[in-house]
Amino acid sequence: MSDKIATRQAYGETLAKLGATHPEIVVLDGDLSGSTMTKLFAKAYPERFFNMGIAEQNLYGTAAGLALSGKTVFASTFAMFASGRAYEIVRNSIAYTGANVKICATHAGLTVGEDGGSHQCIEDIALMRVIPGMTVVSPADAVSARVLTEKIAELKGPVYFRLGRSAVPVLYPDDATFEIGKAVELRPGNDGAIIATGVMVAEAVAAADRLKEEGLQLRVLDMHTIKPLDEKAILKAASETGGIVTVEEHSVIGGLGGAVAELVVRKQPVPMAMIGVNDVFGQSGKPSELLVAHGLTADHIMEAARRLKQK
C-alpha cells in the first residue's frame, strides 16, 4: 500500500481521458460536479456536459433518453440521491429499458464522515443489485477505479458504480488488470477467506497480513463486482478454506454479505461472518472514527476470522 487517493478522484480523471477517445460519451451531474469530480470532464468537453441541477429524477430520466438515442451516459451524484431519490427512475427508465447509463455514485458509505447519517448511504448495494440487469461495481482503490471506469465505458447496459469520498490506500500497481464479474485474489490462504468490497478491501488486507504473523493464512478476495457475482471464486474459497468473512461499508442486510450467503447456502455451506453496518443509521464523525464505532476495522475482521477458525 502506498499513497492515499479517493476513488472518486480516479473516476473523474479517467472519465476526462475517455472523453478524447469516446466521442459518444456524455456526462450529466446533479449540481455536484466539484465533489463527484465530473468537473474535469466538464472543463475538457463542455459541449458534452450537462448540469441537471438538484433534480435527480430528471437527471436520470434525461440520462435514459440520451442513452436510448445512442449515447454512452455517465450520470453522477451522491449515492444517497442516485439510489434513493431517483430509484424509480433508475428502475423503470434505465434498467427496464436496458439503457446504457453508468450511474456513478460518489460519497457512498460511512466514510462520507461529518455529513452524517442522512448522507451516509449504506443501503445502495442492496437496492441496486435487486434490479434485473443492473451491474454493480465497487472499486477498492484508485487503480481499480480507473481501470473499472474504462471497463464500464465499454460495457453495454446499466451499471451502478459505487465510489467513496475519502482518500484510501492504493493497493494495486498501475499495470493491474481487472475484469467485470471476476474477483481478484490479493492474498492466498486456506485457513479461511475474507471477501471484501470497496474501501474495506484495504482493511481486509491489513487483517490478513497481521493474522499471518499469528500463523493463519487467510485468503483475501477483492469482490469489486457484486453483480454479476464471481460465484466460481466464492465457491472455491468456501470449499478450500472452510469459512468466509464478508466485509463491506454497507448494511449487513442485502449487500455483499447477503449476496455471498445466498450463494454459499445453496451450493457450498460453510460458517460465515458478516462485517458491515448492523441495521442502524450512521452518525456524524471522522471516517476513521466511524469505522471503529461500527466495527469496520482490521481488528474486527481478525476477531471474526479467529472465531470462524475455532468452529
* Cα torsion angle, 116, 249, 172, 81, sign: negative
Residue 175 within any structural domain of the chain: no
Tell whether omega for the bond before 228 is within 30 degrees of 0, i.e. cis: yes
The whole domain housing 108 covers 4-169
Q: Which of 146, 169, 192 is the last residue of a domain?
A: 169
176 in a structural domain: no
Please tell me whether residues 8 and 139 are part of one structural domain: yes
Answer yes or no: do 92 and 191 share one domain.
Answer: no
Q: For residues 206 and 257, what is the distance between their CA atoms, to the nearest angstrom? A: 19
Q: How far apart (Å, rounded) are the C-alpha atoms in residues 178 and 306?
A: 30
pLDDT score at 309: 80
The reply to whether 248 and 288 lie within a common domain is yes
Residue 112 within any structural domain of the chain: yes
- The answer as to whether 177 is a domain residue is no
Looking at the fold, whether 64 and 156 belong to one and the same domain comes out as: yes
- Which grid cell sits at 236? 472455491
> How many structural domains are present in the chain?
2
Print the SS3 string covering 115-128.
HCCCCCECCHHHHH
Does a structural domain hold residue 161?
yes
- pTM as predicted: 0.96
C-alpha to C-alpha distance for 131 and 218, rounded to whole angstroms: 33
Shared-domain flag, residues 235 and 200: yes
Helices 201-213/298-310 angle, 10° precision: 60
> Do residue 17 and residue 141 come from a single domain?
yes
Last residue of a domain, one of 169, 198, 226: 169
What are the helix (H) ranges across the chain?
A: 7-21, 33-36, 39-44, 56-68, 79-80, 87-89, 124-129, 142-154, 201-213, 231-241, 256-267, 287-293, 298-310
pLDDT at 2: 53
Domain assignment present for residue 208? The answer is: yes
What is the pLDDT at residue 3? 86
Considering the domain architecture, whether residues 164 and 189 belong to the same structural domain is answered as: no
Residues 197, 229: one domain?
yes
Residues 124 and 193 occupy one common structural domain: no
Instruction: Tell me the C-alpha distance between 182 and 144, whole Å.
Output: 12
User: Can you give the pLDDT of all 311 residues of the chain as single tens digits?
Assistant: 458 999 999 999 999 999 999 999 999 999 999 999 999 999 999 999 999 999 999 999 999 999 999 999 999 999 999 999 999 999 999 999 999 999 999 999 999 999 999 999 999 999 999 999 999 999 999 999 999 999 999 999 999 999 999 999 999 999 999 999 999 999 999 999 999 999 999 999 999 999 999 999 999 999 999 999 999 999 999 999 999 999 999 999 999 999 999 999 999 999 999 999 999 999 999 999 999 999 999 999 999 999 988 76
Q: Which is catalytic among the residues 13, 24, 47, 56?
A: 56
**93 lies in a domain?**
yes
Return the CATH number at 144. 3.40.50.970
**Both 248 and 154 in a single domain?**
no
Which phi-psi region, left, alpha or beta, contains residue 78 (left: φ > 0; alpha: ψ -120 to 50)? beta
CATH number for the domain harbouring residue 296: 3.40.50.920
12 and 100 part of one domain:
yes
Q: Of 169, 196, 229, which residue is a domain's last?
A: 169
Q: What is the pLDDT of residue 1?
A: 46
56 catalytic? Reply is: yes
Q: Tell me: do 107 and 35 sit in the same domain.
A: yes
Q: Considering the domain boundaries, does residue 178 fall inside one?
A: no
